[in-house]
Amino acid sequence: MVPESIRIIHEEHAALSAMLQSLRMMVQRGPGDAPEQYFDVLRAMLFYIDEFPERLHHTKESELLFPPVRARAPHLQEALDRLDRDHAHGERAVRELQHLLLAWELLGESRRSAFEMAVLRYLDFYLEHMKLEETVVLPEAQKVLTAQDWATLDAAFASNSDPLTARYPRDPVYDRLFTRIVMRAPAPIGVGAG
Ligand SMILES: [Fe+2]
Ligand SMILES: [Fe+2]
């Protein structure tokens, strides 16, 4: 049986992957004749990524899941070090994207390619990151963690908050923001009027 914590991580990866794919499609299509809506939706997407995965998802991994895996699977140390570094770097990267987007919106076309190139780099970085977690860390965690480890993790994940630091308790506002982005993004990404 798949532990609840692993199920939650997979679920959050799926929601995040959907958001990243939408972001890629938006960037590939460009603003067209509706720049206002385009910048609005992109801004909301980057804000969501900054608020939700960067703070809640990464915290669960780096502070709750990775430490017991590190203790019981020393051969994963290199992979876990890299993932922890990615988590630290991701927050800076997504803030930088928000700045580059504003530069394009407020200063014009000359700043467009800097944003587009940075977004594509970020998407590749992030997809690679989740792939390493899904193909290496999660399967190994299922092998090496004990029933007691899972009971502790599941209890922490169930409230979707971090009992170690009591930071960032889950708030349904993130689900509402995710839905709102999907409702506003134009087809085929979302269901909003394009
Ligand atoms: Fe991660
Ligand atoms: Fe993750």
**Ligand of minimum distance to the alpha carbon of 12:** 2
CA–centroid distance, residue 83 to ligand 1 (Å)? 6
CA–centroid distance, residue 132 to ligand 2 (Å)? 9
Q: What angle do CA 61, 63, 67 make, to 5 degrees?
A: 90
CA–centroid distance, residue 13 to ligand 2 (Å)? 6
Instruction: Please give the pLDDT value at position 3.
Output: 92
Helices 4-29 and 35-51: crossing angle in degrees, nearest 10, is: 160
Instruction: Please give the pLDDT value at position 166.
Output: 44
- What burial letters (b/e) apply to 58-76, b meaning 16+ CB within 10 Å? bbbbbbbbbebbbeebeeb
Residue 192, SS3?
Answer: strand
CA–centroid distance, residue 34 to ligand 1 (Å)? 34
CA–centroid distance, residue 1 to ligand 2 (Å)? 20
Q: Between the CA of residue 176 and those of 33, 41, 44, what are the distances in Å?
A: 27, 14, 12
CA–centroid distance, residue 31 to ligand 1 (Å)? 30
Instruction: Please give the pLDDT value at position 91.
Output: 87
**Ligand of minimum distance to the alpha carbon of 58:** 1
H, E, C per residue of 55-83: HHHHHHHHHHHHHHHHHHCHHHHHHHHHH
* DSSP states along 118-130: HHHHHHHHHHHHH
Instruction: Please give the pLDDT value at position 185.
Output: 78
CA–centroid distance, residue 194 to ligand 1 (Å)? 32
Residue 1, SS3?
Answer: coil
- pLDDT by residue for the chain (194 residues), tens only, comes to 889 999 989 988 988 898 898 899 999 989 999 899 899 999 999 999 988 877 788 988 999 999 999 999 999 999 999 999 999 998 899 999 999 999 999 999 999 999 999 999 999 999 999 999 999 999 999 999 999 999 999 988 876 554 444 445 567 777 788 888 888 776 666 776 54
Instruction: Please give the pLDDT value at position 160.
Output: 58
Instruction: Please give the pLDDT value at position 52.
Output: 80
Q: What angle do CA 158, 92, 175 make, to 5 degrees?
A: 35
Instruction: Please give the pLDDT value at position 13.
Output: 92
Helices 4-29 and 173-184: crossing angle in degrees, nearest 10, is: 30
CA–centroid distance, residue 129 to ligand 1 (Å)? 6
CA–centroid distance, residue 64 to ligand 1 (Å)? 12
**Ligand of minimum distance to the alpha carbon of 86:** 1
CA–centroid distance, residue 20 to ligand 2 (Å)? 13
CA–centroid distance, residue 105 to ligand 2 (Å)? 30
